[in-house]
Structure 1
Amino acid sequence: MGKNKRKPVEKRKEEIFFIISQIISESGFSAVSTTEIARRLGVSQPAIYKYFKNKDELIKYFLEQVKENLKKIVRSAEKGKTTEEKLKILYREHLNLIERTKVLPRIVFADEIHLGEDKREKLKDAIFFYRDSIQKIIKEGIEKGEVKKSVDPEIATRFFLGSIISSSLYWMLSGMKYSLSEESDKLSDFLNKILN
């Protein structure tokens, strides 16, 4: 089968998401283009126009998919029985996503994303959704007696997110020479010591 074989729309869009991730991780948002995506997919540029009219639509789609991926992580975490299990799942799934896309830490610090109001709002929406979901897990843990009552859910959530960002940046600066997802147990064990 050749690369040009027609694929279902959702499958093709998923491929485009990962290609955008690669481009951003290598060169930033400014390098994303229909031309580069078509080249990497091995299709003509007009084939990309079937899905996206321009770069702006590509970036918006990418940011929407970031939020969808974060929603999947939250849904996985909600299957945990205890707060500790839920936080372990969050760490593991989030670090796995970063390891697969190699892009999420770069998004947070990208200057380009702050240029357009609509893109900034999409990024803010994804991050705030995720922040609120983590806070909810911690608040429920307090109510169940699994987390100390003295824990501030907002500060604990910031610590959680900060540890993911710093671990991801260190991993990227180290040349991605180790498995980031293997860090998840260390991070969640440390956070649980603080919370319990």
Structure 2
Amino acid sequence: MGKSTTRLHTAERQEQILDEAIRIIHEQGYSALAIRELARRVGISEPAIYRHFANKEDIIARILDRVLGMSETIKSNLVEVPSAKEKIREFVRYHFDFLERNPEITSVVFSENIFQINSILKEKLRAILSSRHGLLRSFIDEARLEGGVVDADSEDLAVLIVGNIRLIVLEWRLADFSFDLKDRGDRALRTLERLIFT
């Protein structure tokens, strides 16, 4: 294959590098993410990787930026949903649906050793969690105004919902993704509805 057919625009190449980095982490763990192996898989030289990213941590930071962008996607998708209760339901469904279609991303978000060694990455993960919680809290507050949720602190209810999502996804990972995440998520959602909706 000639150069003209493999040359990609900068943004496309960066996305390709990020996708391959996620695959490596998913298959072999964060410690296996080496620039040499990444370059080999993408089919470019090591210096070409460094033209796009400063180092491994920069690659992880960009992956986290991608995850952080999900909050805006969720928000824009749900802005037209009239019922706050339905926004909460769709918030939960979106996470299970997205992760079932992209199981590799769980290897990054759930890899604690990545965040223990780098404070910048730890802050990015905190920003993701804060953004997600803030969005969910706004839906809960809206549902409260509609008289649709129990009389409990919005932050506590958000933690209950997000914690439930994280635990189910962790169980799914530990089971080698062997069960249907969306089905399990739907069951959990029905339980959450009984706990938090009036």
Contact 2:25 2:107 in 1 (8 A): no
So what's the TM-score if we normalise by structure 2? 0.85
CA distance 1:188–1:171, shift in 2 (3 Å):
same
Contact 1:24 / 1:32 at 8 angstroms: preserved in 2?
A: yes
Match of 1:138 in 2: 140
Per the alignment, residue 114 of structure 2 pairs with 112
CA positional deviation for 1:105: 6.4
Indicate the percent of aligned positions where both proteins have the same amino acid. Answer: 27
Aligned to 1:122: 124
- Residue pair 2:85, 2:139 contacting (<8 A) in 1 also: no
Quickly say closer, same or farther: Cα 1:25–1:72, change in 2 above 3 A. same
Q: Does the 8 Å CA contact 1:73/1:93 hold for their aligned counterparts?
A: yes
CA distance in 1, matches of 2:25, 2:52: 19
| Structure 1 residue ranges (4+ consecutive) displaced by more than 6 angstroms after TM superposition | 1-4
Change (3 A) 1:42 1:181: farther
Structure 2 gap segments, 5+ residues each: none
Q: Is the 8 A contact 1:83 1:141 kept in 2?
A: yes
Q: Distance in 1 between matches of 2:134 and 2:36?
A: 37
- Going from structure 1 to structure 2, the CA distance change for 1:105 and 1:139 (only over 3 Å counts) comes to farther
- Report how far residue 25 of structure 1 moved: 2.5
Consecutive unaligned residues in structure 1, runs of 5 or more: none
| TM-score, normalising length: structure 1 | 0.86
Pairing 1:89–2:90 present: yes
Q: What CA distance in whole angstroms lies between the structure 2 residues aligned with 1:104 and 1:79? A: 29
* Structure 1 pair 188–80 and aligned structure 2 pair: CA distance change class (3 A): farther
How far off its partner does 1:72 sit? 1.6
Deviates more, 1:30-39 or 1:150-159: 30-39
State the Cα RMSD in Å: 2.3
Could you tell me whether the CA contact under 8 Å between 1:29 and 1:113 is conserved in 2?
A: no
